[in-house]
Amino acid sequence: MNKHLRPVFAMLLALSALPAGAVSWQGIKANDAMRAEIDTDSLERGKEGVKAWDEELYARPEQARPGDFYFRVLKSHTLYRCGARTTGYLLKAYYGADDAYIKTFTPSDLPQQNPVIPGTLEELKYEFVCNYRKGKAGVKTVPAPAKKVSTASTAKAAPAKKPVAKAKSSKVSCECEKVPAKSPAVKPKPRVKPAKPILPPAKSPAAK
């Protein structure tokens, strides 16, 4: 194939392999830096294992491995070998901001027997895909927020609520007689003897 046509062919291959029509993304991991989702409608069970599409959305540009370019969205078509606990990538497509296509890796560029390492994002994908049953509970998912991942610089933290001080109870624990409140001491006024009433002089009887 002409080397000038290889990038075009790779782009067409990536576009044709992406899931078409309705998709049902289920979040399996989300934080301030990234979000990982799996399309449950794309699950295909076969003798080799389960095939599924997943995507990783990053808040900031992430460096691809292998490679030296940076991307914001990674879409992968993966074969999960549930019995052997290994995975094999069928296709990896990288995109920049606003879903601008960057590059595609095909099976010839990717290792096909990747052991599932405990405690990694790949293990979360593996456990979800291998244990998923439509209409049945038991698979841990992450509630789907807005599609865009918020960065630490743009995300505003909600102000912490101040604890409401509890009012002190005025009830007395024991049944005791209430002690009257002390009133300020009042100095007694000096007693004043009442003055004797002044009687008018007695009238002498009139002479007859």
126 secondary structure, DSSP code: H
Kindly state whether residue 10 falls inside one of the protein's structural domains.
yes
Burial status of residue 173 (CB atoms within 10 A of its CB: 0-12, 13-18, 19 or more): exposed
pLDDT of residue 151: 44
**What b/e string do you get for 70-82 counting C-beta neighbours within 10 Å, with b at 16 or more?**
ebbbbbbbbbbbb
Residue with tokens 């993966």: 78
Kindly state whether residue 117 falls inside one of the protein's structural domains.
yes
Kindly state whether residue 127 falls inside one of the protein's structural domains.
yes
Residue with tokens 């992406």: 18
Kindly state whether residue 174 falls inside one of the protein's structural domains.
no
Whether the pLDDT of residue 50 is over 90: the answer is: yes
Kindly state whether residue 79 falls inside one of the protein's structural domains.
yes
Number of domains in the chain: 1
Residue with tokens 């890796």: 105
What pLDDT digit, counting tens, does each position of 181-206 carry? 555 555 656 665 555 656 666 655 55
pLDDT of residue 133: 86
Which stretch of 39-43, 87-91, 109-113 has the lowest confidence by average pLDDT? Answer: 109-113
What pLDDT digit, counting tens, does each position of 121-177 carry? 999 999 999 999 876 544 566 655 555 554 444 444 455 555 555 555 444 444 545
Kindly state whether residue 96 falls inside one of the protein's structural domains.
yes
What residue numbers bound the domain in which 91 lies? 6-131
As a whole number, mean pLDDT of residues 45-69 equals 91
Whether the pLDDT of residue 80 is over 90: the answer is: yes
CATH number, domain of 11, equals 2.40.128.710
**pTM exceeding 0.75:** no
Which stretch of 90-94, 106-110, 183-187 has the lowest confidence by average pLDDT? Answer: 183-187
